[in-house]
């Protein structure tokens, strides 16, 4: 029993660090202690920098979904469902999850590397010695920027995926008019909202995990590399785990409302 507690203690310690970091960040946000200049800079660096990669990735994911679905639906004479199937799968699952993974790989890794470099070169300690909170100065702008930008990136990536699906199903003999009519008939506003609601917890998890890994960096350049790798791996795992539980909660909420 003692060994089991020893094995799991680092995990619970990490969860505690994430919760403490979130609580402290929310305290600064609700008090209005936010650097808007740094937030806008992070929106540009982290958000805009991930946009093109997310659109390409989700666009081709939608194309692959359309390719396979189109072939099967034509085989069984159900072409009228093509747009609905592609639209729902993109809105509910593919667009928010793939965009979050792309963001964590591109921008989350950059956050971990930047904060890790600051930690090993004692710049974080220098901020504390000057009476500046590292959470307020380093974490809060990244958190706000990601919460704002990730849903916007997901919307554009979703649109790219729907367009990619339309192009792909055309190769299966399904006309664009049938595809778009099916999309409008079966893909609802609730589907879009449900997918976008997932991106907010995803954004919080990505930033907290990446920044926490960066601030805990030890061991020079090699430590920065380990922290960056761990940040991406942990963030992707967290996104998939959170996706399941969010899907259950949102689906139950939708059924209860109906």
For residue 6, what pLDDT is reported? 61
- Is residue 53 predicted with pLDDT exceeding 80? yes
pLDDT digits (tens, 9 = 90+) for 126-175: 888 888 888 888 999 999 999 999 999 999 999 999 999 999 998 888 88
Helix ranges restricted to H, the chain: 2-30, 36-42, 49-75, 82-89, 95-103, 109-120, 123-129, 134, 140-170, 176-186, 189-215, 220-257
Please give the residue that has the higher pLDDT: either 132 or 226: 226
200-229 mean pLDDT: 91
Range of the domain at 65: 34-257
Residues 6 or more apart whose CB falls under 8 angstroms from that of 111 comprise 46, 142, 207, 210, 211, 214, 231
Q: Which two tokens stand for residue 206?
A: 């990505």
- pLDDT, tens digit (0-9, with 9 covering 90-100), for 57-116: 999 999 999 999 888 888 888 888 888 999 999 999 999 999 999 999 999 999 999 999
How many domains, in total, are found in the chain?
A: 1
In whole angstroms, what is the distance from residue 71 CA to residue 214 CA? Answer: 46
In angstroms, the CA 227 to CA 257 distance is 43
pLDDT digits (tens, 9 = 90+) for 18-37: 999 999 999 999 998 888 88
> Is the pLDDT assigned to residue 5 strictly greater than 60?
no
Query: Contact, 211 vs 139, CB < 8 A?
Result: yes
Answer yes or no: is 204 within a domain.
Answer: yes
233/157 Cα distance (integer angstroms):
22
Question: Is residue 25, in this structure, part of any structural domain at all?
Answer: no
Residue 115 in any domain: the answer is yes
Of residues 16 and 10, which shows the higher confidence score?
Answer: 16
Note the pLDDT of residue 255: 58
Q: What is the DSSP letter of 76?
A: T
251 inside domain: yes
Provide the pLDDT for residue 148.
94
Residue 119 lies in a domain: yes
71 within a domain of the structure (yes/no) = yes
Q: How far apart are CA 118 and CA 51, in angstroms?
A: 26
- Tell me whether residue 187 is in a domain: yes
Mean of pLDDT over the chain: 89
CA distance 245 to 247: 5
| Residue 4 included in any domain | no
């Amino acid at each position: 029993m003692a060994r089991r507690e020893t094995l799991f203690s680092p995990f619970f310690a990490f969860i505690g660090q994430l919760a403490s970091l979130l609580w402290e960040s929310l305290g600064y946000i609700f008090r209005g202690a936010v650097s808007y200049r740094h937030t806008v800079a992070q929106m540009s660096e982290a958000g805009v920098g991930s946009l093109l990669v997310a659109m390409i990735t989700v666009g081709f994911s939608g194309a692959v979904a359309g390719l396979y679905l189109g072939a099967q639906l034509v085989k069984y004479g159900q072409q009228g469902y093509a747009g609905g199937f592609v639209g729902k799968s993109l809105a509910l699952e593919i667009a928010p999850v793939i965009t979050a993974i792309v963001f964590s790989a591109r921008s989350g890794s950059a956050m971990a590397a930047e904060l890790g470099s600051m930690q090993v070169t004692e710049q974080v300690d220098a901020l504390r010695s000057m009476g500046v909170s590292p959470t307020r100065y380093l974490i809060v702008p990244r958190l706000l920027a990601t919460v704002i930008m990730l849903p916007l990136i997901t919307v554009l990536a979703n649109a790219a995926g729907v367009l990619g699906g339309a192009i792909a199903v055309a190769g299966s003999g399904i006309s664009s008019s049938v595809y778009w009519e099916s999309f409008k008939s079966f893909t609802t506003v609730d589907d879009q909202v449900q997918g976008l609601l997932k991106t907010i917890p995803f954004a919080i998890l990505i930033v907290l995990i990446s920044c926490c890994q960066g601030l805990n960096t030890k061991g020079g350049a090699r430590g920065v590399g380990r922290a960056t790798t761990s940040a991406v791996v942990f963030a992707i795992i967290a996104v998939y785990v959170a996706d399941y539980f969010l899907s259950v909660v949102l689906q139950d909420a939708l059924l209860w409302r109906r």
